[in-house]
């Protein structure tokens, strides 16, 4: 559960689509019920502006590419240092936009008082997120995240800290009891994730830019061109702005 030259435009519109660690830390996550969630599309929020699809969600911000035969998604980003109390997460994933199963991996950040914490994690939703052991994350680290589906019920999640040179991998096998992937969407997302069935306080993370963003699909390796842009809106407030500076970049502010 738990996007430079910037092409700037206002994102208040898009088209309507189908609604879509250590062992101790892992145990705490499960006890807290920490989940990523599928996209919580806000009904009636989607519009169209020129050739850009934009919609609002209560928990996702970023880009979702709707296609077929998605077997791998990757992207690289710099870990932010949040300026307000709360949490957030950046990840890449397969599915979850138009169905209820997600293979995903990423990094969480939390600011509490003057303290900051970061975790690298993996998840085959609807199971809980579990932290990787053997890797440390800090603000300013360059992180590459990749998920690969070897079948609709098996795959891998990989987090590489390019700054420290440490790589960790989780292999999933026969996860059919949790649900099979549809392999119909690729995502590059900053999320307001859930604990105890409620969204955590979403911190001001500044910006996260996914670079070298690509997906392997039935059409070959593709970038983010044509992806739907998603902004987080909670109540009447739009909390993020997303742009696609190039075919391989997703910028979330």
Q: Over the stretch 118-173, which tens digit does the pLDDT of each residue have?
A: 999 999 999 989 999 999 999 999 999 999 999 999 999 999 999 999 999 999 99
Choose among 37, 57, 89, 74: nearest CA to 228: 57
The CATH number covering residue 159 comes to 2.60.120.700
* Count of structural domains within the chain: 1
Asked whether residue 7 is assigned to any structural domain, the reply reads no
Using DSSP, state whether 32 is helix, strand or coil: helix
191 noted as active-site residue: yes
Asked whether residue 12 is assigned to any structural domain, the reply reads no
Asked whether residue 11 is assigned to any structural domain, the reply reads no
> For residue 21, what pLDDT is reported?
26
Asked whether residue 176 is assigned to any structural domain, the reply reads yes
Asked whether residue 8 is assigned to any structural domain, the reply reads no
Asked whether residue 61 is assigned to any structural domain, the reply reads yes
- Between the alpha carbon of residue 135 and those of residues 66, 71, 129, 183, 237, the distances in Å are 32, 25, 16, 29, 36
Residues 6+ apart with CB under 8 A from 41: 17, 19, 20, 55, 56, 57
- Tokens matching residue 149: 């589906």
Full domain range(s) for residue 68: 23-252
Asked whether residue 194 is assigned to any structural domain, the reply reads yes
Ramachandran class of 215: left when φ > 0, alpha when ψ lies in -120 to 50, beta otherwise:
beta
Per-residue pLDDT of the chain (253 residues; tens, 9 = 90+): 443 223 322 222 232 232 232 233 343 345 455 666 667 666 555 544 444 667 999 999 999 999 999 999 999 999 999 999 999 999 999 999 978 899 999 999 999 999 999 999 999 999 989 999 999 999 999 999 999 999 999 999 999 999 999 999 999 999 999 999 999 999 999 999 988 888 999 999 999 999 999 999 999 999 999 999 999 999 999 999 999 999 999 999 9
User: Which one of the listed residues 183, 191, 209, 249 is annotated catalytic?
Assistant: 191
Asked whether residue 13 is assigned to any structural domain, the reply reads no
Say if CB 100 and CB 126 are below 8 A apart.
Answer: yes
């Amino acid at each position: 559960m738990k996007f430079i030259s910037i092409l700037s435009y206002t994102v208040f519109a898009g088209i309507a689509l189908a609604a879509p660690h250590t062992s101790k830390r892992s145990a705490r996550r499960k006890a807290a019920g920490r989940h990523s969630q599928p996209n919580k599309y806000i009904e009636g929020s989607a519009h169209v502006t020129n050739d850009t699809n934009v919609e609002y969600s209560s928990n996702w911000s970023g880009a979702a590419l709707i296609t077929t035969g998605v077997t791998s998604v990757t992207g690289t980003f710099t870990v932010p240092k949040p300026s307000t109390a709360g949490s957030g997460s950046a990840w890449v994933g397969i599915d979850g936009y138009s169905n209820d199963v997600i293979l995903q991996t990423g990094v969480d950040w939390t600011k509490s008082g003057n303290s900051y914490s970061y975790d690298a994690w993996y998840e085959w939703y609807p199971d809980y997120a579990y932290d990787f052991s053997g890797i440390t994350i800090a603000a300013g680290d360059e992180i590459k995240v990749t998920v690969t589906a070897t079948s609709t019920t098996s795959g891998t999640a990989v987090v590489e800290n390019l700054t420290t040179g440490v790589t960790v991998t989780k292999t999933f096998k026969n996860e059919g009891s949790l649900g099979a992937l549809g392999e119909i969407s690729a995502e590059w997302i900053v999320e307001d994730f859930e604990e105890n069935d409620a969204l955590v306080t979403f911190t001001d993370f500044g910006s996260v830019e996914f670079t070298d963003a690509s997906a392997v699909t039935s059409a070959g390796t593709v970038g983010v061109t044509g992806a739907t842009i998603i902004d987080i809106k909670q109540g009447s407030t739009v909390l993020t702005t997303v742009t696609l500076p190039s075919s391989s970049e997703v910028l979330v502010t």
